[in-house]
Structure 1
Amino acid sequence: MARKAPSQVRSDLPRRSSHQNVQAVRAGRGVIQGVSSRTLAEIARIERHRYQAGAAHGALSAWRAMVHQRGPWVIYPDWGDDCPCCDPAWGNHREALEVFCHLLPRRAARELRTVLAPIDARFLARTLNDPYAPWGDPWWRRRLESA
């Protein structure tokens, strides 16, 4: 009787996901694609002390959704309550991600910034510069707020 080749036996075995990803999903945190498990652990450490579990993934998802929203090429902020003083123009998502980048160790921050770079580039391409914005504001706040 013919036997299966070892490669066929291995391919029939169930796939195991990485331990880090399984732990993150169990803990209620989303896994940020494109960063190492060491960076995910550092993000989880910051979330335990300053935010809630999954804050970085939620902020990144919201920032990505806002930048990739459908509609005209030039996007303007969506004022929920039409109150610019209560609701920041572009939300607090990018600001939270910037806090993560500052609190992470250098290598982990570089990985997170690498994930953020294409999203930020698209945001800059889809928004217009506000020449009257205060220079003390972060770069994502120095974009036009209305048409």
Structure 2
Amino acid sequence: MRPRRYPAIDGLSARCMADLRRLERSRSFLEDTAEAFRRWKALAHGPLRLIADPATAQRCGIPGCCDVGYFRDHLEAVLHALPKKSGRELRAVLTPLDDEILRRAKVIQVDNLGVPWWRDQL
């Protein structure tokens, strides 16, 4: 049987990807991180209509369907579960995406200190 090929996340070293694969195998969410990253990147660089106004957004309650914050939640959990060096490396590729989403979505309020900005804001 051929070894499974995991999708790479652009900008991460082989060491960080290996740490990510180990983490995903131990937590039984194979390739979920690459998918979450792909979706978050698509949101950052996609059409502005994908960044919904919280006043008009319709959410079905299914994680990952209508609530794009689910993907960022997953990425945040992975950031904290990875070894420190790999976590910093992943954060370094996520920060520009976060910044781009915040820059483009003027309706996001970032002043609620108790809740991450991506929850219930997209």
Same-fold call, TM cutoff 0.5: yes
1:1-147 matched pairs, under 5 angstroms: 27-71=4-48, 75-76=51-52, 82-83=58-59, 86-87=61-62, 89-127=67-105, 128-130=107-109, 135-141=113-119, 143=121
Aligned residues of 1:130 and 1:142 also touching (Cα < 8 A): no
Aligned residues of 1:39 and 1:111 also touching (Cα < 8 A): yes
TM-score using structure 2 length: 0.77
Aligned residues of 1:67 and 1:119 also touching (Cα < 8 A): yes
Listed as ranges, the gaps of 5+ residues in structure 1 are 1-22
Root mean square deviation of aligned Cα: 2.9
Max Rg structure:
1
Report SS of the residue matched to 2:20. helix
Aligned residues of 1:27 and 1:53 also touching (Cα < 8 A): no
TM-score using structure 1 length: 0.65
Counting matched residue pairs gives: 115
How far apart, in 2, do the equivalents of 1:77 and 1:59 lie? Answer: 21
Listed as ranges, the gaps of 5+ residues in structure 2 are none
Higher relative contact order (CA 8 A, sep 6+): 2
1:30-58 deviation per Cα after TM superposition (whole angstroms, max 9, x unaligned): 01121111111110011102143211111
How far apart, in 1, do the equivalents of 2:21 and 2:36 lie? Answer: 14
Identity among equivalent positions (%) equals 32
